[in-house]
Amino acid sequence: MAAKILDWLDERLGIKTVYDTVLDRDVPKVNWWFTLGSASLFLLVMQGITGIFLTVYYVPTPDHAADSILYIMNGVDFGWLIRGIHHWGASLMVIFVFMHMLRTFYCAAYKFPRELTWVTGVILLLATLGMGFTGYLLPMNQRAYWATTVGTEIAATVPFIGTFIMRVLRGGMDISAVTLARFFSAHIWILPAVLVLTISIHMYLIVRLGISSIPREDD
């Protein structure tokens, strides 16, 4: 019965071809360092799911942000777990994405024909750091406030247009309700959209080109 349903679906969707191409493709003999991309993807999905759960209670205004997070931590059943996964997953993701980049670099896997996989990977690294930067402000406590003060001041050190960049990031001269609102928007809409689009290209390229093998001594 199950096989019949599968055949019916396959005839219309071509899912077996998708399965063969995406999951059953040939890969060279590699090691555990080659799992970091999948690990990053897994963490991203976890961040997405726990992040969506957090928005059920979190409120992005200076008056209520810290209190709504306290409520998630102390008032909501398993709130500590959802926020804990999101909190630790964020740091882990930066570490994993970075190690993934190091592996690609040291294995020279960025070379022809995989240059665009590298370029999209760089965008993904920057977007991941952007997620970390914008997410850090959201609790709107003292640590978040001062970290964002320093972070946006760093942007202000760019020659000529630095102050303008800082104003755009903050939505004005001060860190205010406007800043929190636009960081929240960037954190849950703009950057995730960039991530999903870029990952689609990144993974299409991996499936299309395959992964490179570990370089040998004579390479």
Partner 1 sequence: MAKSPHISRSEFVKITIGALGAIMGVVIGLPAIGYLLSPALKISKSEAWVSAGPLVNYPIGLPTLFSFTRSKINGWEKTVSSYGVYIYRETEDLIKAYSNICTHLACRVNWIEDEEIFFCPCHDGGFDIDGEVVAGPPPRPLFEYETKVEDDTLFIRIVEG
Q: Which two tokens stand for residue 212?
A: 């490179």
Asked if residue 59 binds partner 1 (CB under 8 A), the reply is no
CB of 81 to partner 1, least distance (A): 32
Q: Which two tokens stand for residue 29?
A: 């003999």
CB of 90 to partner 1, least distance (A): 22
CB of 104 to partner 1, least distance (A): 32
Q: Which two tokens stand for residue 165?
A: 């960049």
User: Which one of 15, 56, 153, 161 is in contact with partner 1 (CB under 8 A)?
Assistant: 153
Please give the Cα distance from 115 to 164 (Å, whole number): 33
Asked if residue 197 binds partner 1 (CB under 8 A), the reply is no
Asked if residue 161 binds partner 1 (CB under 8 A), the reply is no
Measured CA to CA in angstroms, residue 37 lies from 112, 125, 127, 188 at distances of 19, 12, 15, 22
User: Which one of 176, 208, 209, 215 is in contact with partner 1 (CB under 8 A)?
Assistant: 176
Asked if residue 115 binds partner 1 (CB under 8 A), the reply is no
Spell out the residues 6+ positions from residue 7 whose beta carbon is closer than 8 angstroms to its own. none
Closest CA to 187 of 151, 141, 133, 145: 133
Residue with tokens 């209670």: 57
Site size with partner 1, rule: CB under 8 A: 18
User: Which one of 83, 114, 170, 202 is in contact with partner 1 (CB under 8 A)?
Assistant: 170
